[in-house]
Amino acid sequence: MSALAEQIAEAIRSHQPLPAFPKGLSLTDGYDIQLEVATLVAPNGFAGIKAGITSEKLQAIFGIDHALLGRLYRHGQLKTGAIIPLIKTQLIECEIGIIVDNEGQPVSAGLALEFAFAAFLSPSDATAPNLTAGNVAADKFLTGVQHPWRKSYDDIIIRLYRNDALINEAPITESLGGPANAVTWIVQEAKRFNFEIPDNTLLMTGACGQVLPALPGSYRADYGDLGEINFTISE
C-alpha cells in the first residue's frame, strides 16, 4: 500500500480532513488509490458501489461533466432505527439502493440514504481525482426493505422529515435520470474502472434533491410505496 493511501485511510477512519495531495493526479490514478484506501478502511469487504457528484452543479465545481464512483464499506451499512453520532460537516443524501446480479442486471430496489463525509486541507485539493482517491466521501449508509425490480419508478416522490418538518422533496428520477438509467451508467463505469460486481451488489444512485447537513434530530424518510425508514442523529 502506498503512503498516500494509508494517510487517506486514516483520515477517513478518524473523520479528519484528507491529507495534502500530489499535483496532477489523473482520474485513473484516483481510482487506483481508491481501491487501496477502501481495502484499508474496510478489510471485511464492500457492500456495493455508490455514485457521487451526480448533479450538474456539483460537477461544475469539480470541473467534470459526469458522476464519480466510490465503494460502499460493508461495515458502514445501517438499518432503520439507527442512532448516528453527530459528525461535523457530515451530509445526508436521499438515494435509491438497487441490488444487481453479477452481470449488472437489476433484481430489486429500495430506499437508501447516505451519510457522506469528506474534507480537504486546502481548497486547491478539491479536485475530482482527489475526491475519487478519497472514495467519494463514502462513510455510512442506511437501507430499507428491497422490493422486486419494476420497469418504472416515475411516480415516486422522496420526502425527508426532520423533527416532523419537511426538509427535502424530490422525484426519484432526479439522480442520473432515474433507477434504470442509473444502473446502466454505474455498471458501465464500474467495468471501465475495474470494480468487481458480484451477485447481490448494492448500487446507490446519488442524491435526489438537496444534499443536507447532518443536524441532530429525529428523521423519517418517506419513499411512497417503497416504504419509510427512521433514524436519529444524536449530539
Query: What's the pLDDT tens digit per position in 11-42?
Result: 999 999 999 999 999 999 999 999 999 999 99
What are the domain boundaries of the chain?
3-234
CATH architecture of 3-234: Alpha-Beta Complex (3.90)
Chain centroid offset of residue 153 CA: 20
Cα–Cα distance list, 137 to 48, 89, 114, 152, 154 (Å)? 14, 11, 10, 29, 28
Q: What pLDDT does residue 235 have?
A: 87
Residue 189's region, left for phi above 0, alpha for psi from -120 to 50, else beta, is: alpha
Q: Is the pLDDT of residue 175 over 80?
A: yes
List, in order, residues 6 or more apart from 149 with CB less than 8 Å away: 98, 106, 107, 108, 109
Q: For residues 20 and 125, is the Cβ–Cβ distance under 8 A?
A: yes
pTM, full prediction: 0.95
Q: Are 69 and 186 in contact (CB under 8 A)?
A: yes
Question: With pLDDT > 70 as the criterion, what percentage of the chain qualifies?
Answer: 100
How many residues in total does the chain contain? Answer: 235
pLDDT of residue 1: 57
Can you spell out the DSSP letters for 154-205? TT-EEEEEETTEEEEEEEGGGSTTSHHHHHHHHHHHHHHTT----TTEEEE-
Output the CA–CA distances (angstroms, integers) from residue 105 to 112, 138, 202, 208, in the order listed: 19, 23, 11, 22
Task: State yes or no: pLDDT of 98 exceeds 90.
Answer: yes
Cell numbers 442523529: residue = 233
pLDDT tens-place string over residues 71-94 = 999 999 999 999 999 998 999 999
Contact between residue 104 and residue 40 where contact means Cβ atoms under 8 Å apart: no
Mean pLDDT of all residues in 124-149: 96
Beta bridge mates, 52: 68
